[in-house]
Amino acid sequence: MTNIIKDLTKSNLKLLKQEILNNNLVIFPTETVYGIGANALKEDAVNKIFEVKERAKNNPLIVHLKDKKEIEKYAIIENIIEKKLIDAFMPGPFTIILKKKGIIPNSVTANMDSVGIRIPNNKIAHEFLEYIDLPIAAPSANISSRPSGTCVADIYQEFDGLVNFIIDGGHSKIGLESTVVKVINNIPTILRPGYITYENIKDLIGTCQIASGVLNKLDNNTKVESPGMLYKHYAPQTKCLLVYSEDFNKLKELILKNQTNKTIILGSDKLQDISCYKFIFYGNKLEEISHNIFSLLRLADTYQGDLIIIEGVKKEGLGLAIMNRLLRTSSFNYIEK
Ligand code: TXA
Ligand code: MG
C-alpha cells in the first residue's frame, strides 16, 4: 500500500530517509512536475526507477541536488557559459547537462559521459533533499509514454502499490518539466523547452539554439543529444489531433472539418461555443495551460471520446514548451493553417 505524506514532520522525514537508504523510491513534488526519486549513487535503487516507470534503459535520468554547492561533487563546470546559466537559473525549473564525474553510476546517465543536474525551487523538494542529503535521481512521476504527474490523485492511480511513499505538495505550480540545456560549442542548446525560455537564455548569453528534436519528429535511429525526445510521450489513451491557426475562423474550420461523433475539445474560452461531445477548458494564458495540461489530458480520457482535438498555441516563450509536449501528446498528428 502507498502512503501519502501530507507534512514533512521530523518523523516523516526520518521514514523517507530510511526508505531512500533502503534503495527504494519516493515520489516528491517539485515546482515543475512530481519526480519519482531514488539514491542516485546506488545502481540498485536507480534500476528500480527504470522498472517501475517501464522506462527505456537508454534514457538518462536527471540528478536533483539540494543546492549549487553540491554540483561540483558530481559534475564538472567546464566553461563560463555553464557558470552563467547556473548562476541565473538555478535553483529553478532548469536542468543543465554537464560532464559527469565517476561517482555517478552509468545507469543514471544511460552510459553517457554527461549528467543532467537540477536544483528544484520548491520548499518541500528542498526540505526533502536537504534532509536526505544525497543526490536524488528522478524522472517525472508517470509510467513511460503517459502525461507527467502533476497532482497526487493522478500519480496515486498509476503508482498505488508500486511505491511506498508519495509526498503531497498540491498541484505542481508550473506543470511542465524543466528546460533542459546543454552548452554545445559554446552555444546554449535547448534539448527540451520549459518555463525558462529561449528568450530568457538568449537575453542572458546573447545566443541560444533549439535542438532539432524539439519541434520535429525523430526516427529511432537518429543520434540525438537527448534520448527522451525519441519516445512516445505525454499521451492519453484517446487519439489526439493538435490544431493551430492565428486566425480564429480558420481554427474553427479545422476543428469542424476534423470532428468525429465523440470529439472532446481541449482549449481556451474562444472554442467553448463550438458544439462537440465534451469541451474541456484548459486556460487562456500560457501559464494556465502549462499548469493544467497534463492533468486535463488524463481527465479527457475518462470521458471516453473517440478523439481529443487540442488547441495549439504560438511557439514563443512558454508556448514553445507547450507545443513541444502537445506535438508528442498527439504523435505529431498536427495541422497548422
Ligand atoms: O522538471 C523536471 O525536469 C522533472 C522533475 C521531476 O525534476 N524531471 C523530468 O525527468 O522531467 P525526465 O526523466 O522525465 O526527463 C528528463 C529528460 C529526458 O528527456 C532525458 O532524455 C533528458 O532529460 N536527459 C537527462 N540526462 C541527460 C543527459 N545526460 N544528456 C541529455 N539529455 C538528458
Ligand atoms: Mg518524463
Render pLDDT for 24-52 as a digit per residue (tens, 0 to 9): 999 999 999 999 999 999 999 999 999 99
What is the distance between the alpha carbons of residues 327 and 315, in angstroms, rounded to a whole number?
A: 11
CA of 61 to the centre of ligand 1 (A): 5
Ligand number nearest to the C-alpha of 189: 1
Q: Which DSSP string do the residues of 12-48 spell out, in sequence order? A: HHHHHHHHHHTT--EEE--SSS-EEEEETT-HHHHHH
* pLDDT per residue as tens digits for the range 198-223: 999 999 999 999 999 999 888 766 77
* pLDDT per residue as tens digits for the range 143-164: 999 999 999 999 999 999 999 9
CA nearest to 8, candidates 181, 164, 165: 165
What does DSSP assign to residue 8?
-
What percentage of the chain has pLDDT greater than the value 70? 98
CA of 172 to the centre of ligand 1 (A): 17
Backbone angles phi, psi at 227, to 5 degrees: -60, -25
Quote the pTM value: 0.97
Strand ranges, E, within 161-281: 165-167, 179-184, 187-192, 209-210, 240-244, 263-267, 278-281
Domains in the chain (CATH in brackets) are 3-78+99-173 (3.90.870.10), 240-336 (3.40.50.11030)
Residue 20 has pLDDT above 90, yes or no: yes
**Does ligand 1 have an atom closer than 6 angstroms to the CB of 112?**
yes
**Does ligand 1 have an atom closer than 6 angstroms to the CB of 56?**
no
Q: Which of 28, 62, 97, 195 to mutate to test the pocket of ligand 1 (most atoms within 8 A of CB)?
A: 62
Peptide bond preceding 93 in cis form (omega within 30 of 0): no
What does DSSP assign to residue 206?
S
Q: Which residues contact 128 (CB under 8 A, 6 or more apart)?
A: 8, 13, 16, 26, 28, 136, 167
Residue 233 has pLDDT above 90, yes or no: no
What is the distance between the alpha carbons of residues 34 and 28, in angstroms, rounded to a whole number?
A: 6
